[in-house]
Amino acid sequence: MSINRSDLVEKLLIKFSYLSRNDARVAIDVFFDTILSSLHKDKEVTIRGFGTFYNKRRRKAIARNPRTGQLVEVPERQIPAFRAGKLLISKINKK
């Protein structure tokens, strides 16, 4: 089972009943927008006990177009990555 943004909003509403649905939605959006803008500026985002979001660099490479067989240069780019914290790992492994 996966959890989406709407599920997170519902969880916030259960935990904090005084919030309106819109306030909960805005809180979730601000959280993710903050992480996104920090990664866009090439900054790490560390949430103690949870983990660290960071950018990984992929070097440029030569690839082959599977349809035509033509060689194509793939430019260097960054991809988002996540490294789980010790507390998160220990909680996941508890039964």
pLDDT digits (tens, 9 = 90+) for 53-89: 999 999 999 999 999 999 999 999 999 999 999 999 9
Place of tokens 């809180």: 27
Statement to judge: residues 94 and 55 lie in one domain: yes
Write the pLDDT tens digit of every residue in 39-55.
999 999 999 999 999 99
Q: Same structural domain for residues 4 and 16?
A: yes
Q: Give the helix, strand, coil percentages of the chain, each rounded to 5.
A: 40, 30, 30
Same domain assignment for residues 23 and 56: no
Asked if 50 and 12 sit in the same domain, the reply is: no
* Domain identity same for 3 and 35: yes
| pLDDT for the residue numbered 95 | 64
* Co-location of 21 and 66 in the same domain: no
Q: What is the CATH number of the domain that holds 48?
A: 4.10.520.10
Q: What is the mean pLDDT of residues 11-39?
A: 95
Residue 1 reports pLDDT greater than 90? no
What is the domain extent for residue 11? Answer: 1-42
* Tally of domains within the chain: 2
Fill in the amino acid letter for 85: G
